[in-house]
C-alpha cells in the first residue's frame, strides 16, 4: 500500500472545447476509495509580460465570462497543439494581442494554475525591447490595452484589482528580478 493517494481508474466524463472533465477513482493511504475530479487542459498556454520603452507594463483588459466581469491580465493564449513550443505561442500571442513584437523573449516563470484538480500549465515570458508589429484579434477577442508603472501594478495587486494568478505572478516575479539586479 502506498503512503500517498493512488489513482486506480480515470474515466472521461465530458470532452469540452479547451478542457476535458474526468473522474478519478483514488485509493487513500488508509485503503478507503474516493472519487476525485480531474480537469485536463488540452494544450497548456503561454503568457507574456511586455515592458514598454518607458518602463510601463502592458496589460490587457477583457471580459471574462467565468468571472462575469472584466479582468486585467498579461497577454496570453493557448498553444496551438500539445507539441507547439510555448515560446512560439508567446511570440504569436504577444503580437496578436498587443501589436508589439519582441526579438528575444526571456523565460520568467513556469506556472501550474490549480494543482488540486487540473493539469494546466502556463509558461510566462518577459518581453523587453519591443518593436512595432501587427495586431490581429480573434472575433471572440475584444481587448483593451492598458499601461501601468510597476508601482501602480503592485498597488493593484495588493488592493485586489489584479487577481489573475498568471498576471500577478508575472508582475511580482519581474519586481523580484529587478530588485535582485539592483543589488
Catalog residues that contact a copy of itself under the rule CB under 8 A: 3-5, 7, 13-14, 16-19, 21, 23-24, 26, 28-30, 32, 34-39, 45, 62-67, 71, 73, 109-121, 139-140, 142, 154, 157-158, 160, 163-166, 168-169, 172-173, 175-176, 179
Residue 44 per-residue DSSP state: -
CB of residue 122 to a copy of itself, shortest distance in Å: 8
Minimum CB distance to a copy of itself smaller for 87 or for 101:
87
Coil, helix or strand at residue 81: coil
CB of residue 37 to a copy of itself, shortest distance in Å: 4
* C-alpha torsion angle, residues 107, 53, 62, 97 (rounded to 10): -70
CB of residue 91 to a copy of itself, shortest distance in Å: 20
Minimum CB distance to a copy of itself smaller for 53 or for 179:
179
CB of residue 52 to a copy of itself, shortest distance in Å: 21
CB of residue 131 to a copy of itself, shortest distance in Å: 27
In order of 20, 26, 117, 121, the CA distances from 6 in angstroms are 21, 5, 14, 22
Minimum CB distance to a copy of itself smaller for 82 or for 140:
140
Burial of 45 (0-12, 13-18, 19+ CB in 10 A): buried
Residues 43 and 79: beta-carbon distance below 8 Å: yes
Minimum CB distance to a copy of itself smaller for 82 or for 115:
115
Cell of 70: 472584466
Distance, CA of 127 to CA of 165 (rounded, Å) = 18
Minimum CB distance to a copy of itself smaller for 21 or for 52:
21
Residues 21 and 13: beta-carbon distance below 8 Å: yes
Place of cell 478507503: 32
Amino acid at each position: 500500500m502506498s503512503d500517498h493517494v493512488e489513482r486506480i481508474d480515470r474515466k472521461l466524463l465530458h470532452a469540452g472545447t479547451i478542457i476535458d472533465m474526468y473522474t478519478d477513482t483514488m485509493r487513500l493511504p488508509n485503503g478507503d476509495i474516493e472519487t476525485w475530479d480531474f480537469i485536463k487542459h488540452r494544450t497548456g498556454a503561454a503568457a507574456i509580460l511586455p515592458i514598454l520603452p518607458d518602463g510601463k507594463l502592458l496589460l490587457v483588459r477583457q471580459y471574462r465570462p467565468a468571472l462575469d466581469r472584466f479582468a486585467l491580465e498579461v497577454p496570453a493564449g493557448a498553444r496551438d497543439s500539445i507539441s507547439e513550443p510555448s515560446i512560439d505561442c508567446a511570440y504569436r500571442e504577444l503580437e496578436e494581442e498587443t501589436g508589439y513584437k519582441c526579438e528575444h523573449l526571456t523565460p520568467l516563470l513556469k506556472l501550474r494554475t490549480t494543482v488540486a484538480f487540473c493539469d494546466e500549465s502556463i509558461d510566462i515570458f518577459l518581453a523587453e525591447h519591443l518593436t512595432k508589429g501587427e495586431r490581429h484579434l480573434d472575433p471572440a477577442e475584444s481587448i483593451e490595452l492598458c499601461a501601468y508603472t510597476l508601482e501602480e501594478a503592485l498597488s493593484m495587486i495588493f488592493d485586489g484589482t489584479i487577481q489573475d494568478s498568471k498576471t500577478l505572478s508575472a508582475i511580482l516575479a519581474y519586481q523580484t528580478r529587478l530588485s535582485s539586479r539592483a543589488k
